[in-house]
Structure 1
Amino acid sequence: MFKDFLPVSQLDLQKRGWDQLDFILVSGDAYVDHPSFGVAIIGRWLEAAGFRVGIIPQPDWTKSESFTKLGTPRLGFLVTSGNLDSMVNHYTVAKKRRKSDAYTPGGVIGKRPDRATTVYARKIKKLFPDTPIILGGLEASLRRMAHYDYWEDRLKPSILMDTKADLLIYGMAEKTILEVAEALHSGLPVSSLTFIKGTSFFTKDLSIVNDPIVLPAWKTLLASKKQVGQSFLTQMNHTDPISGEVLAEPYEHGFIVQIPPSPPLTTKEMDQVYRLPFVRQVHPMHQKEGDVSAFDEVKFSLVSNRGCFGGCHFCALTFHQGRHIQIRSHESIVKEAKELITDKDFKGYLHDVGGPTANFRQPACKKQVTQGSCRHRQCMAPSLCPNIEVSHQDYVSLLRKLRKLPGIKKVFIRSGIRYDYLMADQDTTFFKDLCKHHVSGQLKVAPEHSNTQVLHLMGKPAIQVFDQFRHKYHQFNAKEKRHQFLVPYLISSHPGSDIHAAIELAVYLKTLGHQPEQVQDFYPTPGTLSTCMYYTEIDPRSNEKIYVPKDPEEKQMQRALLQAGKKQNQALIRKALEKAGRQDLIGHHRNALIPPIKSKALPSSKKEKRFKRR
Structure 2
Amino acid sequence: MNQSKKSIRNKLPTNQDIRTIFQPFNGCPLPITKEELISRGWDYIDIIIVTGDAYVDHPSFGAAIIGRLIESHGLRVAILPQPNWRDDLRDFRKLGKPRYFFGVTAGNMDSLVNHYTANKRLRSDDVYTPGGKAGFRPDYATVVYTKILKQLYPDIPVIIGGIEASMRRLTHYDYWSDSLKPSILIDSGAELLIYGMGEQPLHEILRLMKKNVPISSMKAIPQTGYVISKKAGIPKHRDWNTVKLSSHDDCLKDKITFAQNFKVIETNSNQYIQSRLYQITGEKAVIINPGYPPISREELDKIYELPFTRLPHPKYKKRGDIPAFEMIKNSITLHRGCFGGCSFCTISMHQGRFISSRSKDSIINELKKIFKMPYFKGYLSDLGGPTANMYEMKGKKIE
TM-score, normalised to structure 2, is 0.90
Note the alpha carbon deviations across 1:495-526, whole angstroms, 9 max, x for none. Answer: xxxxxxxxxxxxxxxxxxxxxxxxxxxxxxxx
* Aligned equivalents of 1:101, 1:76: Cα separation in 2: 28
1:182 aligns with 2:207: yes
Do 1:241 and 1:263's aligned partners in 2 also have CA atoms closer than 8 Å?
no
Q: Pick from 197, 208, 211: which aligns with 1:172?
A: 197
Distance 1:342 1:187 in 2: 42
8 Å contact from structure 1 (residues 140, 168) kept in 2: yes
Q: 2:79 aligns with which of 47, 55, 59?
A: 55
Q: Which secondary structure state, in structure 2, belongs to the residue aligned with residue 350 of structure 1?
A: coil
Instruction: Determine if the alignment matches structure 1 residue 264 to structure 2 residue 302.
Output: no
Instruction: Please report how far the alpha carbon of residue 48 of structure 1 lies from its aligned counterpart in structure 2 after TM superposition.
Output: 0.7
The counterpart of 1:109, out of the listed 106, 126, 134, is: 134
Map residues 69-218 of structure 1 onto 2, 5 A cutoff: 69-204=94-229, 205-210=232-237, 211-218=241-248
Q: CA deviation at 1:208?
A: 2.2
Instruction: Name 1:287's counterpart in structure 2.
Output: 317
Aligned partners of 1:241 and 1:262 also within 8 Å: no
Aligned to 1:7: 31
Give the SS at the match of 2:268.
coil
Q: Does 1:38 align with 2:65?
A: no
Query: Which residue in the other structure is 1:28 paired with?
Result: 52
Post-superposition offset of 1:287: 1.3
Q: Distance in 2 between matches of 1:79 and 1:323?
A: 25
Amino acid of the structure 1 residue aligned with 2:42? W
Aligned residues: 369
Q: Work out the CA distance in 2 between the residues paired with 1:185 and 1:242.
A: 30
Once residues 344 and 222 of structure 1 are traced to their aligned partners in structure 2, the CA distance between those partners, rounded to angstroms, is: 54
Distance in 1 (CA, whole Å) between partners of 2:294 and 2:273 is 13
SS for the counterpart of 1:285 is helix
1:240 is displaced (CA, Å) by 4.4
Conserved? CA contact 1:39–1:82, under 8 Å:
yes
> SS of the residue aligned with 1:238?
helix
Give the deviation of 1:142 after TM superposition: 0.3
Paired residues of 1:121 and 1:165 also in contact (CA < 8 A) = yes
Give the counterpart letter for 2:275 in structure 1: E
Deviation readout 1:274-297 (Å, 9 max, x if unpaired):
111001111111111111000000
Percent of aligned pairs with the same amino acid? 46
Q: Deviations over 1:138-160 (max 9, x none)?
A: 01110000100111001011111
- Alignment partners' CA distance in 2, 1:160 and 1:253: 14
1:366 positional shift: 3.3
Bigger relative contact order, structure 1 or 2 (CA pairs below 8 A, ≥6 apart) = 2
- Please tell me the residue identity of whatever aligns with 1:61: W
Aligned pair partner of 2:382 in 337, 352, 367 = 352
Question: Aligned to 1:237, which of 267, 289, 292?
Answer: 267
Q: CA RMSD in A?
A: 1.3
Q: In 2, distance between residues paired with 1:122 and 1:199? A: 20
Conserved in 1, the CA contact under 8 Å of 2:273 and 2:293? no
- For 1:264 and 1:10, the matched residues in 2 are separated by 38
Q: State which of 351, 360, 377 in structure 2 corresponds to 1:330.
A: 360
Greater Cα radius of gyration, structure 1 or 2: 1
Deviation at 1:368, TM superposition (A): 3.9
Query: Which amino acid in the other structure matches residue 118 of structure 2?
Result: V
Deviation at 1:32, TM superposition (A): 0.3
Deviation at 1:342, TM superposition (A): 2.1
Q: Which residue of 2 aligns with 1:436?
A: none
Alignment of 1:388-537 (within 5 A): none
Measure how far apart 1:13 and its partner are: 1.6
* 3-state secondary structure, aligned to 2:397: helix
Given candidates 310, 318, 322, the residue that maps to 2:348 is 318
Go from structure 1 to structure 2 and tell me whether the alpha carbon gap of 1:2 and 1:165 turns closer, same or farther (over 3 Å shift).
closer
Note the C-alpha offset of 1:363.
4.2
1:121 is matched by which residue type in structure 2?
T
Conserved in 1, the CA contact under 8 Å of 2:270 and 2:349?
Answer: no
- 1:195-233, CA deviations, whole angstroms, 9 ceiling, x for partnerless residues? 001101101123324352100011110111111111011
- In 2, Cα distance between equivalents of 1:169 and 1:135: 6
Distance apart, 1:21 and its partner CA: 1.0
TM-score (norm 1): 0.59
Determine helix, strand or coil for the equivalent of 1:361: coil
Q: Which runs of 5+ in 2 are unaligned?
A: 1-24
Whether contact under 8 Å (1:44, 1:276) holds in the other structure is yes
Q: Which residue of 2 is the match for residue 304 of structure 1? A: 334
CA deviation string 1:252-307 (max 9, x = no partner): 21210000112221111111101110011111111111110000000001110100
Give the secondary structure class of the aligned counterpart of 1:237.
helix
